Amino acid sequence: MLKLSKLTDYAAVIMAQIARDPDQAHTASELAARVKLPHPTVGKTLKMLAKSGLLESRRGSHGGYVLSRSPADITASDIIAAIEGPIGMTECSHADGECGLLDSCGVADNWQRVSQAIRTLLDGVTLAHLAQSSPLKLPVQLPIQSVTLPTASGALREH
Amino acid sequence: MLKLSKLTDYAAVIMAQIARDPDQAHTASELAARVKLPHPTVGKTLKMLAKSGLLESRRGSHGGYVLSRSPADITASDIIAAIEGPIGMTECSHADGECGLLDSCGVADNWQRVSQAIRTLLDGVTLAHLAQSSPLKLPVQLPIQSVTLPTASGALREH
DNA sequence: TGTAAAGAGGACTAAAATGGTCCTATATGG
DNA sequence: CCATATAGGACCATTTTAGTCCTCTTTACA
């Protein structure tokens, strides 16, 4: 369903929590309590976010996590990629080949373009947007420049 | 990774094959051969596409599948939804409640808006686009109307 | 009217991804 | 030194996904 994993969802919620109070370090237990999720799970999520550079961690007592950049400089793409790896709709949208069906596929190029469009869209959503409760303004119109389709281009024959 | 399942991928490829030769019925075995995938798998995919109304099937000898509408009237959303169910990034993006964390979540609204933007984007990509080999023109610019973020709106405090 | 060629529908299995927990090690402040 | 944190994995249970197979029905045509 083109869905985010639960962990990614948690990550977004957690990041938003931190973003709303960016000046102090937040511990896993504190965040777990706020977000009402089990401590180990929140801990795991935080570790992933830290490892990919979105959070900075301080160990020891009085430790915790802080944003490594301003909320306006952290995108939805960043968060998703931190938990799920590179964003792409299809197997072949990032890997460099190894699909084996490329010749009989015929849609790879276009899927990759769609992937790219989604990635760009997600790049435009920042943590600052997510953290604020007031609605984002998104373009509900014309996300695709409707190509008056060329009906038949040379290469579309098969076998 | 915000990825489509393999079956969805197959579905797109298969639909594109049919779209390129829309005037005759295509059997599962024929398509399996073209697309170089095992017959049972292709069969399963076709059944799903037919059940959700994107293909019409004719049984018996000389049977097969035909598009139920013109390629320009079948969208990427349709194909994805046929295999994966309703498109939405988060659990709460279509279900009507039952999340239980909504109060502590604080990002639900915005995620839903992002979901909606992706859905709209996908609605703009048709099977006609996918089937043609010449590149789609996608808006690599400004998919989000960058809200100069309101810095602090009333509701974003958390005790 | 019989037979072969198709799809419909669903049961089933194997493999992979996901979510979640826990343990040990290390760092840090008081 | 001790309490409090994170780091980094190992680990398991559950769910999802992919893929196969079997039986039934429909249809064209010899």
Ordered by start, the domain boundaries in chain A are 6-133
Residue B80 CA to residue B12 CA, distance in Å, equals: 8
How far the first Cα of chain B sits from its last, in Å, is 34
Q: Which residue has the higher pLDDT, A100 or A104?
A: A104
Q: Which two tokens stand for residue A130?
A: 């997510």
C-alpha angle B65/B69/B73, rounded to 5°? 135
Residue B12 CA to residue B3 CA, distance in Å, equals: 14
Residue B76 CA to residue B56 CA, distance in Å, equals: 18
Is B58's CB less than 7 Å from nucleic acid strand D?
yes
Q: Which residue has the higher pLDDT, B157 or A76?
A: A76
According to the model, what pLDDT value does residue A127 have?
96
According to the model, what pLDDT value does residue B112 have?
86
Displacement of CA B18 from its chain's centroid (Å): 17
What DSSP line would sit under B37-100, residue for residue? --HHHHHHHHHHHHHTTSEEEE-STT-EEEESS-GGG-BHHHHHHHHH-S--SSGGGTS-S--S
Contact A116 B153 (CB under 8 A): no
Q: Which CATH number fits domain A6-133: 3.40.50.720, 1.10.10.10, 2.30.140.10, 3.90.1150.10?
A: 1.10.10.10
What torsion do the CA atoms of B6, B7, B8, B11 make, to the nearest 10 degrees?
A: 130
Contact A101 B13 (CB under 8 A): yes
Closest nucleotide to residue A44 (Cα to C1')? Answer: C20
Per-residue pLDDT reduced to its tens digit, A105-136: 878 888 888 999 999 999 999 999 999 866 56
Range with the lowest mean pLDDT among A102-111, B33-42, B120-129? A102-111
According to the model, what pLDDT value does residue A146 have?
38
**Domain covering B6-86+126-135 assigned CATH 1.10.10.10 in the classification:** yes
What DSSP line would sit under A103-137, residue for residue? HHH--HHHHHHHHHHHHHHHHT-BHHHHHSSSPP-
ipTM over 0.90: no
Mean pLDDT in residue range A81-93: 83
Per-residue pLDDT reduced to its tens digit, B58-67: 999 999 999 9
